[in-house]
Amino acid sequence: MRSMPIVTFLTDFGMNDAYVGVMKAVVLSRAPSAQLVDITHKVPPGRIVSGAFLLESAWPFFPADSIHLAVVDPGVGSSRRRIALEADGHYFVGPDNGLLSCALPEVSRPRRRPGDGYLAQRLTLPQGFKGVIIEPGNREDVSATFEGRDVFAPAAGHLASGGRLSDLGPLVNDIAALPAFRAPRSQDGVLRGVVLHVDHFGNAITDVAGSDLPNPCLVEVAGRSLELRRTYAESGGVCAIVSSAGRVEVAMPNGSAARDLGLAAGAEVNVRPIGWSR
């Protein structure tokens, strides 16, 4: 374990309340020298897919042994399990609702089918990955509404202080998993994508992988057909580019593509080889 173990935080708790600070207090009580890093607390409330997408875009950049505490949990207080995973040298702590499945490699996750959305399915943990069900020590102390404080932060603090995953509870074999964020291809060769996230700049980030693109191609979204550009700087107006995360993104330099085109998470995006005609 590192002398300053990294604990990251991703939630839909917002920044207006004391909830995030309280979770950090609980972590620091167990691991006083932890490096606490916020990924974001502005996941749209209850949107597990958005949370998983944002966590997936961040955690691989952290060094090994980092602990990622993630809570986007519309089912808090219900019977869904609380889990901790060890995956690729990283640790993940959160509700078993699909959020943490972004810890698994894309190839081991379910595949989305054209027309389907991102709904979690049960998935057996692939070899080399370990998971446990977190069993809170003292059930009396556990509130029904703030498991971030009472279950997840103590577990993250336990791991950050050098505690073992297996101390947290019994092994688990399967977890809730979201399909890999990768647009399926229709029989006609068209990639049938969706907008996963609209960022601060109004860029609409899709689940179309840059590496899946036919070349040349057209990106169809909101009734528009867009050509691919290489950078924001070379484009005027709304354009499509392959983003820093390797995904097709609908962008508008010095403006908001999402606002301009009326795009939100879930909007359909099709990528069509050029030359193909409907």
Q: Does 75 engage in binding with a second copy (CB under 8 A)?
A: yes
Q: Is the dihedral of CA 81, 82, 84, 85 positive or negative?
A: positive
Name the minimum Å distance from CB 98 to a second copy: 16
DSSP E strand stretches across 48-137 = 67-71, 82-87, 90-95, 121-124, 130-133
Interface residue with a second copy among 254, 262, 275, 278 (CB under 8 A) is 254
Q: Does 207 engage in binding with a second copy (CB under 8 A)?
A: no
Q: Which is nearer to a second copy, 66 or 206 (CB)?
A: 66
The C-alpha angle with vertex 220 and arms to 215 and 223, in degrees rounded to 5, equals 155
Q: Does 137 engage in binding with a second copy (CB under 8 A)?
A: no
Q: Which is nearer to a second copy, 12 or 212 (CB)?
A: 12
Q: Does 26 engage in binding with a second copy (CB under 8 A)?
A: yes
Strands 6-11 and 67-71: parallel
Strand partners, 194: 268
Strand partners, 38: 9
Rounded to an integer, what distance in angstroms lies between the CA atom of residue 47 and that of residue 73?
8
CA-to-CA separations, 189 to 5, 114, 117, in angstroms, rounded = 46, 12, 19
Whether 185 contacts 271, CB under 8 Å: no
Q: Is the dihedral of CA 246, 247, 248, 249 positive or negative?
A: negative
Q: Which is nearer to a second copy, 148 or 193 (CB)?
A: 148
Q: Which is nearer to a second copy, 131 or 154 (CB)?
A: 154
Interface residue with a second copy among 7, 48, 52, 57 (CB under 8 A) is 57
Beta-carbon contacts of residue 223 (< 8 Å; ≥ 6 apart):
none
Stretch that binds a second copy, among 105-113, 126-134, 197-205, 215-223 (CB under 8 A): 197-205
Q: Which is nearer to a second copy, 90 or 192 (CB)?
A: 90
Stretch that binds a second copy, among 156-164, 177-185, 224-232, 261-269 (CB under 8 A): 224-232
Q: Does 70 engage in binding with a second copy (CB under 8 A)?
A: no
Torsion of Cα atoms, 260 then 261 then 263 then 268, to 10°: -160
Q: Which is nearer to a second copy, 185 or 229 (CB)?
A: 229
Q: Does 49 engage in binding with a second copy (CB under 8 A)?
A: no
| Interface with a second copy (CB under 8 A) | 2-4, 6, 8, 10, 12-22, 24-26, 28-29, 32-33, 35-42, 45-46, 54-55, 57-58, 61-63, 66, 74-78, 143-146, 149-150, 197, 199-201, 230-234, 241, 243-245, 249, 253-254
